[in-house]
Structure 1
Amino acid sequence: MTSGDRKFNVVIAGGGSTYTPGIVKMMLQHQADFPLASITLYDNDPDRQSVLGEALAIVMREEAPEVAFAYTTDPETAFTGKDFCMAHIRVGGYPMRQQDERIPLKHGCVGQETCGAGGIAYGMRSITGMLEIIDYMERYAPDCWMLNYSNPASIVAEACRVLRPTSKVINICDMPVGTRRRMSYIVGKEYDDLDVRYFGLNHFGWWTSVKDVHTGKDYLPQLLEYVGENGYLTQAAIDAQHMDESWQATHKKARDLVAVDPQFLPNTYLKYYLYPDYVVEHSDPNHTRADEVIEGRERDVFGAAREIVRKGTATGGEFTVDNHASFIVSLARAIAYNTHEVMLCIVENKGAISNFDDDAMVEVPCMVGSDGPEALCQGEIPTFERGLMQEQLAVEKLVVEAYIEKSYLKMWQALTLSKTIPSATVAKAILDDLIEANKGWWPELS
């Protein structure tokens, strides 16, 4: 198959997301390698989606009138005839994200949307939403592939493994993409010049190798030295991504992650597990990351959308391209054209990490083709990393078991086992508050 043989129909599930405009713009830029017949937005929040939908209809008319565009809250309309579903849903929206972050902080624990108690709460809500979208896809578009980058990806991936084991769902994350881009700034190369190896769970892993794809030059010693002194923070990254101060602090903290584990390059999210006391100390329980997003990205994207609609044109460049999302098109192309490109995906281990659970959903390099991702063998991993991963894996499995069994006890155990929570007493207090906040969102636990 060549790119000229077929045009693809794409549905974006989570059409009201602030990331949707950037993803649409990014897809339009890649039509030479991933030609489009149609883009449809789907969301169960019509008011939120319609703001972006109206603006993107103008963008599409001006930039790609040959591509059919629609937005809808009807799943049959959204999914029928689609080749790919790009899913980035946030069940409960920003109001529930605020609760995920504030409730743990009230108890002196990490408040973060994908890690610790907040991630567990979000995961319990996300499972229901993901299963609903998968079922729509399988009912109305049985040949469709879902490329899911909804958070928290590890819990969602484990739920898919257990509850929808035969579904055509690939769980992915853009965090390693962003970090790899910062690595390219540090060594003075382009993103595609780097050949990387990585192992872990989602938001919980390490780079073991970073080499020049052309010459084989090993950049790992240079990167370890740089990150050990500066973290992943570079002026180029700040300028390119208009990075918020909280993200700058996160990238800088990577130097302390290297200090405790100097042989590999860490995923920045490990700070929540290895330095939870630091995170809590530098958090404001009344103004968390959710508030920053509402005051920043949320305001900017929806403000841009309303301005496009007011003017009736998008020629002012109000929406920007989401460069991190380019990996989504690469993944879709790999499936559509059987390219066997190597990409990081979240897949069942099945021996890829030889001394880790076979049924663990791990994040490792995979060769991606028309049958989906095939994990590349990473061999054995050291005791320190394996111990951390084993504990976090147990947390994620307990959350999914608690969801299925509607088990209060297993949710309590999951929170107790998290490295972000100091005791079963604190875990129970957080759980009781989360249950109250998530009434109508979680299964009723007993």
Structure 2
Amino acid sequence: MKIVVVGGASTYTPELIDGFARQHESLPIDEVVLVDPATDRLALIAGMGERMLRAGGRPYRLAYTEDLRGALDGATVVLIQIRVGGQRTRANDESFPLESGCIGQETTGAGGLAKAMRTVPVVLDIAAQVAEHAPDAWIVDFTNPVGIVTRALLDEGHRAVGLCNVAIGMQHFFARLLETEPDEVRSAHVGLNHLTWEAAVDHRGEDVLPRLIATRSEDIGHRVTLPAAVIDHLGMVPSYYLRYYYHHDDVLRELLDGPSRAEEVMRIERELLDHYADPSVDQKPEALSRRGGALYSESAVQLMSSLLGSGSGVHAVNARNAGALDFLPSEAVIEANAEVGGGHIRFLPTPALPPSVRGLIAHVSAYEKLAVDAAVRGGRRRVVDALLAHPLIGQWSLAEQLADRLIHENSEHLAWA
């Protein structure tokens, strides 16, 4: 079994290398190939990976290259984890919307659309090469914005599924609250990528979410950075990303007053790269837990094991709605629990959702459709259409201002600009 990691020079990659090694029995990989055009950084990451594998008994081979086409030969899975333009463009995504009084965030609002505009064409080019050189391979997309990127891949007919670590993070959080093991807990995870709710928490056949909310709403609120009153009112647990909707003005003030997440991530990445360059380091450093993407390798291995193995499992994935949420079109892409096995993905029945949640999901899903259209076909008018449809923007003057700024900031990455 051969796994190709596109974006292999990411500071996330040692997390993957470690996870693939630790879970080798459930996913018996023969070879992992890291692909990235940033050759100096790629060699640094690969060197760190080699030391980790030697320390852990080397259960698989590790190679690295800048040649995607050469790497794809015989690939079973192609995992995509790229950031077009690097952290500099992320900093722009987080800053330019603030000047118009809008949330600045890399996957939500105007910043999220900017990232999609840069990313979707590049991912589709990668996928076209996968289709030519490894036509039987699965594409697993971890590149944000995952829902939009996955929809673009599926619209082009690629064998793709999107993956995010929010669901597994919440599973482990609930397990800690219940003082049990994560595999004893399954939450009813439902919504869109970075717009999800935990509508139930099953522990040994009982939905314990009402009890958890009644007794631990402060802890839950702290975990998702929202007031406990929001959790109590909803009777569900929204993801961290819902703070941009439920607490918009407070978050906007925080973003205007404080350092950006991009600045923090750049500091962490410099620290990580220093660790990776140290020839004595052969274990993933603590700083990696602050980078984001916690439990990324766990979710990736579990998903790939079900996709490729003889058994099946339940995983929170991004895939075609296909009737799972009856208030959305079948071609929409949602994020929810699905039974995955034998190359098939089927969403499990979803809990009943209140009208306020259904409405917000439908609104953002409509925006995502327009975002894919703008990213694939280009043009200022399509950018304005997508921004006008986003519930955090929705005003003509703002949509026009943000469209012009988005195009200006990203012109080197937009073939049509």
Q: TM-score, normalised by structure 2?
A: 0.93
Alpha-carbon shift at residue 65 of structure 1 (Å): 4.0
Partners of 1:258 and 1:131 lie apart in 2 by 38
The 1:232–1:339 alpha-carbon spacing in structure 2 relative to 1, beyond 3 Å, is: farther
- From 297, 300, 309, the counterpart of 2:271: 300
TM alignment of 1:116-131, pairs within 5 A: 116-131=109-124
Q: Is the 8 A contact 2:14 2:49 kept in 1?
A: yes
Look up the SS of the partner of 2:63 in the other structure: strand
- Residues 77, 226 of structure 1: CA spacing in aligned structure 2 closer, same or farther, 3 A cutoff? farther
Alpha-carbon displacement from aligned partner over 1:295-337 (angstroms, at most 9, x marks no partner) = 12x02321111112xx4xx446647795342011011110121
RMSD of equivalent CA atoms: 2.1
Match of 2:105 among 91, 101, 112: 112
Residue 200 (structure 2) aligns with: 209
1:267 paired residue among 239, 242, 247: 239
Residue 132 in structure 1 maps to residue 122 in structure 2: no
Do residues 329 (structure 1) and 322 (structure 2) align?
A: no
Q: Does the Cα contact within 8 Å between 2:148 and 2:368 map onto a contact in 1?
A: yes
C-alpha displacement of 1:153: 0.7
Q: Which moved more, 1:104-113 or 1:285-294?
A: 285-294
Asked if residue 360 in structure 1 is aligned to residue 332 in structure 2, the reply is: yes
Q: From 51, 60, 63, give the equivalent of 1:67.
A: 60
Q: What is the aligned residue count?
A: 412
> Structure 1 residues 28, 394: CA separation in 2 closer, same or farther (over 3 Å shift)?
same
User: 2: distance between equivalents of 1:364 and 1:429?
Assistant: 34
CA distance in 1, matches of 2:57, 2:178: 37
1:228–1:255 contact (8 Å) kept in structure 2: yes
Q: Determine the C-alpha separation between the residues in 2 that align with 1:39 and 1:402.
A: 34
Work out the CA distance in 2 between the residues paired with 1:355 and 1:144. Answer: 32
Matched position secondary structure for 2:365? helix
Match of 2:211 among 222, 232, 243: 222
| Partner SS for 2:412 | coil
Q: Is the 2:33–2:64 Cα contact (8 Å) retained in structure 1?
A: yes
When residues 257 and 268 of structure 1 are mapped into structure 2, their CA distance, relative to the original with a 3 A threshold, is: farther
Q: CA deviation at 1:45?
A: 2.1
Partner of 2:379: 407
What's the CA shift for 1:184? 1.4
Q: 2:78 is matched with which residue?
A: 85
Shift of 1:410: 2.2
**Which one of 372, 376, 382 corresponds to residue 344 of structure 2?**
372
**Structure 2, gaps ≥5 residues long:** none
Question: Quick one: which amino acid aligns to residue 148 of structure 1?
Answer: D
After superposition, residues 117-196 of structure 1 pair within 5 angstroms as: 117-162=110-155, 164-165=156-157, 167-196=158-187
Query: Is 1:20 matched up with 2:13?
Result: yes
Secondary structure (helix, strand or coil) at the match of 1:282 reads helix
The 8 Å contact of residues 83 and 119 in structure 2, kept in 1 or not, is answered as yes
Shift of 1:442: 2.2
Partner SS state of residue 138, structure 1: helix
Distance 1:442 1:381 in 2: 38
1:42-88 per-residue CA deviation (whole Å, 9 max, x = no partner) reads 11222322221222233334434462221111012221111112221
Identity of counterpart residues, as a percentage?
A: 27
Supply the distance in 2 between the matched residues of 1:357 and 1:421 (Cα, whole angstroms): 23
> What is the alpha-carbon distance in structure 2 between the residues aligned to residue 83 and residue 273 of structure 1?
39
Instruction: Tell me, yes or no, if the aligned pair for 2:225 and 2:243 is still in contact at 8 Å.
Output: no
| CA-to-aligned-CA distance 1:393-433 (integer Å, 9 cap, x gap) | 11111111122332312211211222222622122112211
Between the aligned partners of 1:23 and 1:411, the Cα distance in structure 2 is 35
How far residue 363 of structure 1 moved from its aligned partner, in angstroms, is 1.0
Matched position secondary structure for 2:334: strand
Q: Does 1:419 align with 2:355?
A: no
